[in-house]
Every structure is written in structure tokens, then in C-alpha cells.
Structure 1
């Protein structure tokens, strides 16, 4: 009888907790992503992410430093070979070296990419134009462009 009660309690708790976790797919720790813009410059990309942080965390970040904020933001973006150009309490901008493959003669291919969270609004800027995506966690098909 005791195990049945424990099982029922666990099912009720999971029924309450799982929807709350699923509702915050754009969160990573104390960061909630608002939007991401990826601007391609030949093989490199400049990636800007706007976000909010939980109330009270801003003071702690200012007090103890931005290293944890920086690492969490980079984990969300999930790019290799990055250089942070700007970081504050609501925005990070990074340059990603060789984000795209260079096929010569101004032809580039940005391969599939997965972000660490669901991005509510993704804007991709190439020399050919601007593309908008909503509620994406990955750029699954990749993107070809000329520069």
C-alpha cells in the first residue's frame, strides 16, 4: 500500500512539474532568450543574442563578475571558435570564425546548427537577404549563400 501511495504522489508531482518545464524551452539557467540574429560576413558570422535574466541575478552578476553569464550565453549559442565582442546584462555579441564552409569563388555553406534552447525569433542575414524563423532550436537544413 505504501508503494502505491508513493507511486501516485510521484505521478502527480511529475504531472505538475513537466508542463512547467516544457513551457520554458527558451530558458537556460537564469537566462531567457528573446531573439538571435546571425549575420554572415564571408565565412565568419556575427551572432547577437538578446535575452533577459531573472530578477535579482543582475546584481549578483555585477557583484561577482560576468564569467558565468558569458559561459551560459555561449552554451546557448553553441558555436565553436568564438570571440565575445560585447556582453552585458541583456545582450551578447560574438564573432564566430569560420562558421561557414568556404567553397571558393564567393560561395559559402553554413551547415546545420543546434542551439542550446528554443530560440523564439531567429533572424539570418546573408548578402542575398534576410530570413526569419520562429521557435527554432536548430537550423537543420543549413544555408548556402554568396558573398
Structure 2
């Protein structure tokens, strides 16, 4: 019976721990973001985010499920309608449909995206280009063509 009280207390603590501000680097609550890759194709963005979960919380995430982890990742990435294709203890893949504005001539515009934390390395790949940003908390607006040359 005591174990239930201890687990309940740990769960409550993990949920009420305030999120660390962006000034504290790449850490948000119990998640430390290490890198992010965004692949833009047609009107879809696929976010491949790598992170570390604080050791004290790993057991709770495994034991209680990944819904809080998904919620925090969505918040950090500033994604409202993403579909989680993969959620592991160190990596997640999130697909967002209709993430870009289609100009109707084969070109698209991915609007500027503000993130909750500074991310050490962000790679953005389109069908024709690839760009890397270092130690930033935003992805600038990017124009791209839907098809390869």
C-alpha cells in the first residue's frame, strides 16, 4: 500500500514541476532536447526530435505511459495538431499535415516557428535543400518547391 502512495507522490511531483524557461538552455521540465530534424515535403512537416529524459522521471514515464511526454513535446515544438508516429524514451517522430502554405504554383511557404527552448542543432530539409541552424529557438520562414529538380 505504501508503494502506491510513493508512486502517487512521485507522479504528482513530476506533473507539478514547473517548466524551465528557454533561458535555461535546451531543458523543458524533465526533457532535454538534443537535436531536431524537420523534413518538409508537399504540405507536410515531419519532426524528428531527439531528447534525454531526467533519470528520476524515466521510470514514471515507462510505468504511467507517455501521454505527459507527448504533451510536453508538442508544447516544446509548438505543434498543435501533430500525429505521433514514434515515441521512445529518447526520440520521437511527429507528423504535421497542412504545415505550409501552398502558393498554387508548386512552391510552398513554411511559416516561422517559435520553439519553447534553445535547441543545439536544428536541421531543415526540403526536396531541394538542406539547412542547419545552431543554438536557436526558432525556425525561420522557409520557401521551398514540393518536387525535386
Give the deviation of 1:75 after TM superposition.
0.7
User: So what's the TM-score if we normalise by structure 2?
Assistant: 0.80
Query: How large is the Cα RMSD of the aligned pairs?
Result: 1.6
Q: Tell me how far apart the structure 2 counterparts of residues 51 and 102 of structure 1 sit (CA, whole Å).
A: 31
How has the CA–CA distance of structure 1 residues 120 and 104 changed in structure 2, closer, same or farther, with 3 Å as cutoff? same
SS at match of 1:35: strand
Equivalent in the alignment of 1:73: 73
Q: Does 1:146 align with 2:135?
A: no
Q: Tell me how far apart the structure 1 counterparts of residues 137 and 41 of structure 2 sit (CA, whole Å).
A: 23
How has the CA–CA distance of structure 1 residues 59 and 134 changed in structure 2, closer, same or farther, with 3 Å as cutoff? same
How has the CA–CA distance of structure 1 residues 136 and 66 changed in structure 2, closer, same or farther, with 3 Å as cutoff? same
SS at match of 2:25: coil
Specify every segment of 5 or more residues in structure 2 that has no aligned partner in the other structure, as ranges: 1-20
Q: 1:113-138 CA deviation, whole Å, 9 max, x = no partner?
A: 10111111000000112100001101
Q: 1:10-33 CA deviation, whole Å, 9 max, x = no partner?
A: xxxxxxxxxxx7773211000000
Give the deviation of 1:38 after TM superposition.
0.4
Specify every segment of 5 or more residues in structure 1 that has no aligned partner in the other structure, as ranges: 1-20
How has the CA–CA distance of structure 1 residues 125 and 22 changed in structure 2, closer, same or farther, with 3 Å as cutoff? closer
How has the CA–CA distance of structure 1 residues 118 and 22 changed in structure 2, closer, same or farther, with 3 Å as cutoff? closer
Q: 1:67-95 CA deviation, whole Å, 9 max, x = no partner?
A: 11111111111123211111011011111
Equivalent pairs, count: 127
SS at match of 1:56: helix
Equivalent in the alignment of 1:39: 39
